[in-house]
Structure 1
């Protein structure tokens, strides 16, 4: 039986990886740049010769090209297929070959020849052709030479790196811009017209940079180093690059292997990489840590099961390393798949010195690889349809929308019944007929008088006519001209509108939330009080006091009549709007640990609380009548419905749920860095994300949208998680896969929150560099950085209501937005500073900043 299992495993490996070609060259080719395109592959042969094969017909006679006198060190195909050009370089010549013309001359029995465009430039480490096949970049030593193919001359030599240049790439959308990476651990952006350096990066790592790639679709630069670090930088119009993401291959590989431990159905099964030769399976083997140098970067155009025109497969790249081939998702900073060469016995060797990777279609990948210890070259094909790209330990597809009706035993069917008051029983009986009551003939409340009881008019010759009043017809005021719906193409808020001091003494604003109509904003402070403002931050402020510890969360009810607060004093209080006294107090006798979160749930039917390692679901009844004599006697009721524990028994750090619809899904994050999904319809955990971050998750929020906006149904399945030193991650609830990662802001020690915009296009987050950052949800780099703050920004919130144009003469003569869509919690602006005593450095701010913005439509409405 064991032999049958081993044979089936080998058959699966053969189906995934197929070796097409195996050659042994008389001269070493371990660190030579190999070339591969959609139709051909090329590599040095016997030192100074070139050998070219057709990918679709490997058995055909290869094309041998002779022209160099010394060993060829680099090869590169052009980007265009008509004509297909191949450039080769050695110490003596740089030659450009027309492949079609070379085949034609070979068929005619003539010697195929190329065009020499450069001589005696030194040993070339890397070659690159521009997108129009007009220029060639030759990396030789610490210099980069630019050659013109048509004029066959040297255009310019760029020098500025302190080490050898390892890679160079032309900008796809601007052929006059060149990017180079070097062993001095930096990269540079060059302007070939002025021969000046437009941008130079800082030292990225302690190890040299080896590979470089430019994504035209994402407008990003991707580079990799010897120790397995991969960076992605944005390339704006001024080429002032900004870091988008950074990935450590060794860490993401360990996280992927740990995630796959809970997925036994994943194929192919593989033995541990670190198991020593000759060891018995099942015994503990010695572990050896190995580095993952990024030898080659190549884009992944499509994946099996993805329709490229309808669904983009993501920002994926193939990475060739010394012993493996990785598929890396840069947006999510995760490995989609990993192929270890030693797991495939049909390959001639399992270590790589250099790579050439090209994806022919969404199912096949061609790889040319040379051995670091032997003068051998192999060409193999990888069929991704046979490999599992997304192992999922769960069976159902989750969604925030109810997938079915409530189960009879569901906790959400609970009903609150007061003691001693039985339910009313409807007795069966005949239908009740509605009888019209007798009324007098004239029953209107106001009837015009007949005039019999009044004094008759005197008989005169004058005709008396009633006077016409100028105000006989009442004119209605024109309603305010507001936008019918929250605009989807709204601009990003960048202008400060108003601010207000939340406390006389330094006190952190820990939480912030708008009401559903966007007219009020509620914030919780570290001094155990909660403040209720109007959305314009004008007028009087309602203060809710009563807690004995810092407030953790605040939440609005769906009907906007109640707010709930939870604090570190292990109490939860429900406050009516317009009254400073709580209408319901859940004391510390119910909870043994602080209540980390409190939410209204299931359209205000329940209250969902988290304390310790469990979620608490309560039914409640709020008694509205007030008795001045027994004003401290609580008449409101609450009844526990269920208590749902985390599977690992760890304490809950934060929770999230949607109260605007009947959703069964509740998200909870634990101290053990995991995120668990609760299905309240069945009352247990339905899915889990282990090790969602490298640190404990301190913030989790779902895309709840707004009653004033319309989004696609799939967007409601997105949620954000944040952790210290690990940035923000965007997840898809349907697959529980990280789809984006945002790292442009600073978050090293404070729990900085984030929020979705009502239109679903933007994400705002706080930062420790006294700024707030606004991201486009489709891009990993930030759009705007909102400065002018004096303290770290801890929480942010978008206004869910419609933007309303108004004119406020007391602040400005120009029309301002009354309800801006973004309200940032911490700090004040230097332009509108409120004088108050400032004592030392505060960890969080005590002011609320309200940026506003204008659009062309709003200007027309204001006019």
Structure 2
């Protein structure tokens, strides 16, 4: 960056720069003079300087330039109101400010100006000076505003109430409203042409959100203070206080008080330029930055360098609608491609004998039978036409719970096995006709439901041929069960039939892995922990168990010593994987890109041991639990937990958690011999939003919701399965 030539009359003692602005070609600054009106100076690309006397009597607190060359040169505001410099003349607008505006912006045509005056956003016409509209809704002072790049009737604002909003000028309403993002106030904002909104907070954190159809999704969340310092003179206590933001393709430029930063929106890497003089104000337009020094009347400007990029440009895949990249790990599944199917079909057709057409003569000798009335020449006895098979029953949708499932159904209670071993994990089959449970010191057991129908019969349960598995999961098709944990590698077993009592041999074995493997991506993969990594294995599940095979295709590495558990979606194609590790962090993995998309540090006071993902990718939430007695509810659009539940007791024994199919309730086990059901929509409410499912004699270690019926199953250290339903 270099210092712009400043007129000598503005370098006198007492002069200072109060606001700056820039676009791709020009830079501008407002100078406060000791005994005269403030002036606005505009620098062009050839360093040609033009000065305009502002109509303000004291100080210009906000300044903005139009993105393109037009009749409007600059807009700004101060204690006396808003003004615009049009055709070389500065004139007031018809908006009187009760307090000095903290920010302002100009649209692409230069015909409209928006300014944040306290908690109100004022929009005026720069050509005739009349007021267009006022927007109210923020609960704190507006600190940043910006028109949408490239035009469009939208203005974005951020405020000290720690939220941002997008306003529709045509509809005269608020189009998008975010939740509270963090504890400190938001300081600056940028609005891209594709609808992305970048905001930064006073603690040095920045977010990029995608706004569409009245909603917003968090795309990027970075901590600017964690960037590597390129200057050895920088002190350890240097704070990153963002002053301005600007989009430049896949890079977000940040102008801070004593540095500039470039954030790669793909790899989330932050490159910092240190050693700059302290700035009181800054402005960023694309890759161009303008800074006003804090202790002298000097303005510096320059072009910022782009941030590092190690990954192909693009947003997070689970927020995008485009196809999976060709180099993605999800392209390495073992499913047959169309070309392979065509070759196999041609090979099968060659081996089959051609069938004669109906009514055609068959070249075979005629055989006369004495016991058959027909001589062989006439038509034989007409065969009865077989009736068509009845159509398959329609697929049942998940039942919406009419209330919390806390009413006990004692007729379905029963031990998991004859030895009454402790149960540590349970999961329903997709058709709700069985429950797979993992026991301590014994084989996994498949319990057929309804339990009252099979109680005291030989078909009540079926054991799998592996000992000491602590986690089980059932495929989406219901034909296979994966058992993991213990001393052996994860194994995939064929699901038992209606009369099967024991499944001895697995269909295939995985190379390695710990407890917690799950089916993923419509049964095309299995994912699970393996030491400090999360491994992705492609599987081919065939109707014939002898043809099943597995192949390791990707490994998500981390700095943690051990990955405790994973959660993923298997009912549809979703690249989202969530993993919890021993370093108390929760990581959001993007399987399409093959990398970690986000890391939530210190998610719990102790390492999380359980995760729960929704059944549908339409819900961008997941839950985590730890032995600190807290179940946290997370939203992918936010870096912080949106809710925490702590009415249950979990200080010693790990317990599982589960969402109801309707996403209204969240169930968890507890050490006080009960299961707890929380109302997700009433998080933080009184005790009437929590229900206890009593009846157990020991710790309730696992819970599972039925995918088709309004029913909750619980099991624990007493070795019994118990079922609960709604009151009505």
- TM-score calculated relative to the size of structure 2: 0.59
Summarize the Cα distance change of 1:71–1:845 in structure 2 as closer, same or farther, 3 Å threshold.
same
Rate the CA distance shift 1:132–1:467 in 2: closer, same or farther, 3 A. Answer: same
The whole-number CA distance in structure 2 between the counterparts of 1:762 and 1:536 is: 30
SS in 2 for 1:658: strand
Query: Residues 453-494 of structure 1, C-alpha deviation per residue, up to 9 Å, x if partnerless?
Result: x899xxxxxxxx99997x7333544766999xxxxxxxx989
- What does the per-residue CA deviation read over 1:409-428, in whole Å, with 9 as the maximum and x for residues that have no partner? xxxxxxxxxxxxxxxxxxxx
Structure 2 CA distance for partners of 1:97 and 1:482, relative to 1, 3 Å: farther
The residue number in structure 2 matching 1:248 is 223
Task: Tell me which residue corresponds to 1:625.
Answer: none
- Out of 522, 525, 535, the position equivalent to 2:438 is 525
Question: Aligned-pair distance for 1:525?
Answer: 3.4
Counterpart residue number, 2:188: 211
Deviations 1:799-826 (A, max 9, x none): xxxxxxxxxxxxxxxxxxxxx9xxx998
Pairing 1:38–2:30 present: no
Q: Does 1:610 align with 2:513?
A: yes
RMSD: 6.3
Counterpart position of 2:304: 382
| TM-aligned CA deviation for residue 519 of structure 1 | 11
Structure 2 match to 1:623: none
The answer for the alignment partner of 1:590 in structure 2 is: none
Please give the per-residue CA displacement for 1:675-714, whole angstroms capped at 9, x wherever unaligned.
44xxxxxxxxxxxx546xxx953345799x99xx9x8xxx
In the TM superposition, residue 127 of structure 1 has moved relative to its aligned partner by: 1.2
Aligned to 1:357: 284
Counterpart of 1:62?
49
1:845 and 2:703 aligned: yes
Going by fraction, where is strand more abundant, 1 or 2?
Answer: 2
Q: Is the 8 A contact 2:531 2:562 kept in 1?
A: no
CA shift for structure 1 position 727? 4.4
Distance 1:731 1:508 in 2: 32
Contact conserved, 2:565 with 2:609, CA < 8 A, in 1? Answer: no
Return closer, same or farther for 1:733/1:232 CA change in 2, 3 Å cut-off. Answer: closer
- Post-superposition offset of 1:752: 0.6
User: Counterpart in 2 of 1:366?
Assistant: 288
2:304 aligned counterpart, secondary structure: strand
Q: What residue ranges of structure 1 are gaps of 5+ in the alignment? A: 1-17, 103-111, 258-269, 275-286, 303-312, 343-348, 360-364, 404-441, 457-464, 484-491, 585-598, 616-645, 669-674, 677-688, 799-819, 853-863
Tell me: CA distance 1:520–1:740, structure 2 relative to 1, closer, same or farther (3 Å).
farther
1-structure distance, mates of 2:280, 2:159: 19
Cα-to-partner distance string for 1:261-292 (whole Å, 9 max, x where unaligned)? xxxxxxxxx45464xxxxxxxxxxxx623221
134 and 121 in structure 1: CA distance in 2 versus 1, 3 angstrom threshold: farther
Deviation (angstroms), 1:133: 5.3
Distance in 1 of aligned mates of 2:67 and 2:117: 22
**Pair 1:530–1:79, CA change in 2 (3 A):** farther
Measure how far apart 1:608 and its partner are: 1.8
Instruction: Note the C-alpha offset of 1:214.
Output: 4.4
Say whether the 8 Å CA contact 1:180–1:189 is kept in structure 2. no
Q: Which residue of 1 aligns with 2:563?
A: 697
SS state of the match for residue 845, structure 1?
strand
**Cα–Cα, structure 1 residues 341 and 250, in superposed 2: closer, same or farther, change >3 Å?**
closer
Q: In the alignment, what sits opposite 1:722?
A: 579
> Using the alignment, how far apart are the partners of 1:545 and 1:746 within structure 2?
35
How far does residue 380 in structure 1 lie from its aligned partner after superposition? 0.8
Map of 2:720 onto structure 1: none
Cα–Cα, structure 1 residues 80 and 654, in superposed 2: closer, same or farther, change >3 Å?
closer
- 1:207 counterpart SS class: coil
Q: Distance in 1 between matches of 2:190 and 2:60?
A: 23
1:126 to 103, 128, 136: 103
Query: Is residue 67–residue 107 contact of structure 2 (8 Å, CA) maintained in 1?
Result: yes
| 1:72 alignment counterpart | 60
Aligned to 1:473: 385
Aligned partner (choices 610, 613, 619) of residue 751 of structure 1: 610
> Are the equivalent residues in 2 in contact too, given 1:727–1:742 (CA < 8 A)?
yes
2:537 to 654, 657, 663: 657
Is contact 2:656–2:702 with CA below 8 Å preserved after alignment? yes
1:401–1:664 CA contact under 8 A, matched in 2: no
1:780-810 Cα shifts (integer Å, max 9, x gaps)? 899xx9x9xx999747899xxxxxxxxxxxx
SS of equivalent to 2:703: coil
Deviations 1:763-796 (A, max 9, x none): 8855569999998xxx8899xx9x9xx9997478
Q: Which residue of 1 aligns with 2:77?
A: 89
Q: In the aligned structure 2, how far is the partner of 1:455 from the partner of 1:247?
A: 88
Alignment of 1:139 with 2:116, yes or no, is: yes
Secondary structure in structure 1 of the residue aligned to 2:76: strand
Distance in 2 of aligned mates of 1:272 and 1:503: 68
CA contact (8 A) 2:176 2:214 kept: no
Structure 1: how far apart are the matches of 2:303 and 2:110? 28
The answer (yes or no) to whether the contact 1:144–1:159 under 8 Å persists in 2 is: yes
Aligned-residue offset at 1:340: 1.4
How far residue 66 of structure 1 moved from its aligned partner, in angstroms, is: 2.5
| 1:291 alignment counterpart | 239
Deviation, 1:508, is 6.7
Question: What is the Cα deviation at residue 175 of structure 1?
Answer: 5.0
Q: Contact between 1:653 and 1:698, CA under 8 Å: does it hold in 2?
A: no
Cα distance in structure 2, aligned partners of 1:523 and 1:29 = 77
1:423 — aligned with what? Answer: none
- CA 372–564 in structure 1, closer or farther in 2 if over 3 Å, else same: same
Secondary structure of 2:538's match?
coil
Residues 1:26 and 2:1 aligned together: no
Give the distance between the partners of 1:467 and 1:221, measured in 2 at CA.
79
Distance change (3 Å), C-alpha of 1:842 and 1:177: farther
Q: Distance in 2 between matches of 1:721 and 1:187?
A: 27
CA deviations on 1:5-42 (whole Å, 9 max, x unpaired) are: xxxxxxxxxxxxx6484548427787734222233222
Q: Unaligned stretches of 5+ in structure 2?
A: 313-326, 334-361, 417-421, 518-528, 541-547, 650-654, 669-674, 680-690, 711-728
Distance of 2:97 and 2:224 partners within structure 1: 38
User: Equivalent of 1:583, from 497, 504, 514?
Assistant: 504
Task: Kindly name which structure, 1 or 2, has the bigger radius of gyration based on alpha carbons.
Answer: 1
Which whole-Å CA distance do the structure 2 matches of 1:702 and 1:238 have between them?
27
Contact 2:204/2:223 (<8 A) preserved: yes
Distance 1:541 1:137, change over 3 A: farther
Cα distance in 2 for residues equivalent to 1:573 and 1:662 = 11
Question: What aligned pairs does 1:653-692 form with structure 2 within 5 A after superposition?
Answer: 655-660=535-540, 665=552, 667=554, 675-676=556-557, 689-690=558-559
Pairing 1:51–2:18 present: no
- Counterparts in 2 of 1:521 and 1:244: CA distance versus 1, 3 Å: farther
Find the counterpart in structure 1 of residue 274 from structure 2: 341
Distance in 1 (CA, whole Å) between partners of 2:97 and 2:705 is 66
CA separation of 1:113 and 1:772: change in aligned 2, threshold 3 A: closer
Q: Take 2:379 and 2:135, find their aligned partners in 1: how far apart are those partners?
A: 97
Asked whether the 8 Å contact 1:796–1:825 carries over to 2, the reply is: yes
The aligned residue for residue 643 of structure 1 is: none
Equivalent runs, 1:535-684 vs 2, <5 Å: 542-544=461-463, 551-554=470-473, 563=481, 565-568=483-486, 577-578=496-497, 579-581=500-502, 583=504, 604=508, 607-610=510-513, 651-652=531-532, 655-660=535-540, 665=552, 667=554, 675-676=556-557
Q: 1:139 to 1:113 in 2, by over 3 A?
A: closer
**By how many angstroms is 1:451 displaced?**
5.0
Match for residue 181 of structure 1 among 154, 159, 180? 159
Q: Deviations along 1:214-241, whole A, 9 cap, x unmatched?
A: 45635x65432222133566767667x7
5 Å matches for 1:99-114? 101-102=87-88, 112-114=89-91
Q: If the length of structure 1 is used for normalisation, what is the TM-score?
A: 0.51
CA distance in 1, matches of 2:69, 2:428: 56
* Alpha-carbon distance in 2 for matches of 1:842, 1:455: 74
Q: What secondary structure is seen at the aligned counterpart in 1 of 2:225? A: helix
The CA deviation string for residues 569-623 of structure 1, in whole angstroms up to 9 with x for no partner, is 7687775644444535xxxxxxxxxxxxxx97xxx4x5423369xx9xxxxxxxx
